[in-house]
């Protein structure tokens, strides 16, 4: 194979690879980019049941209810505009408390509730997920 042809072939392969990567990434992004929801986002159109997503907001005051099995809790996530009931089975993080930010990982159920498999509270006094910071700021300015 001549050098020129080889270079052309390599450049072509590279181009195909880059386009393939972008195509794959973008098509997957269409499906998976909406990974983080605030209660207000799902009030109108909840995401498909069964897809792993994150739900973020504040734990509503007085809403944490330990369940009789000893490992599950029910609570309500709010962003000031809407609320979502959440059921979580597992060991809640130590910084998980009422009136505090939380990110729940899990899936929405057909009845609009959320089943969490993992809870992320802030890791220390400096930590808050950036999506949360944005949503909370929006919620606070909208409150009467």
Q: Is 142 in the site for another protein (CB under 8 A)?
A: no
Task: Restricting to residues 98-117, name those near another protein by CB under 8 A.
Answer: none
Which residue in 92, 93, 102 sits closest to 132, CA to CA?
102
Q: Is 50 in the site for another protein (CB under 8 A)?
A: no
Q: Is 48 in the site for another protein (CB under 8 A)?
A: no
Which region among 20-28, 42-50, 76-84, 108-116 touches another protein (by CB under 8 A)? 20-28
Q: Is 43 in the site for another protein (CB under 8 A)?
A: no
Report helix, strand or coil for 37: strand
37 is in an annotated binding site: no
Which region among 28-36, 42-50, 75-83, 107-115 touches another protein (by CB under 8 A)? 28-36
Q: Is 32 in the site for another protein (CB under 8 A)?
A: yes
CA distance 60 to 134: 18
CA distance 31 to 37: 14
DSSP code string of 7-32:
HHHHHHHHHHHHHHHHHHHHHHHHHH
Which region among 18-26, 57-65, 76-84, 106-114 touches another protein (by CB under 8 A)? 18-26
123 is in an annotated binding site: yes
Quick check: 85 and 115 in contact, CB under 8 A?
no
């Amino acid at each position: 194979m001549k050098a020129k042809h080889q270079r052309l072939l390599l450049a072509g392969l590279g181009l195909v690879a880059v386009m393939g990567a972008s195509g794959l990434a973008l098509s997957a992004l269409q499906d998976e980019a909406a990974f983080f929801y605030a209660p207000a986002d799902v009030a109108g159109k909840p995401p498909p049941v069964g897809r792993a997503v994150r739900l973020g907001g504040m734990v509503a005051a007085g809403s944490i209810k330990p369940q009789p099995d000893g490992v599950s809790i029910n609570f309500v996530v709010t962003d000031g505009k809407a609320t979502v009931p959440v059921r979580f089975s597992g060991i809640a993080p130590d910084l998980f408390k009422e009136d505090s930010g939380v990110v729940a990982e899990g899936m929405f159920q057909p009845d609009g509730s959320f089943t969490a498999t993992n809870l992320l509270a802030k890791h220390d006094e400096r930590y808050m997920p950036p999506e949360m910071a944005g949503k909370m700021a929006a919620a606070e300015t909208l409150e009467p």
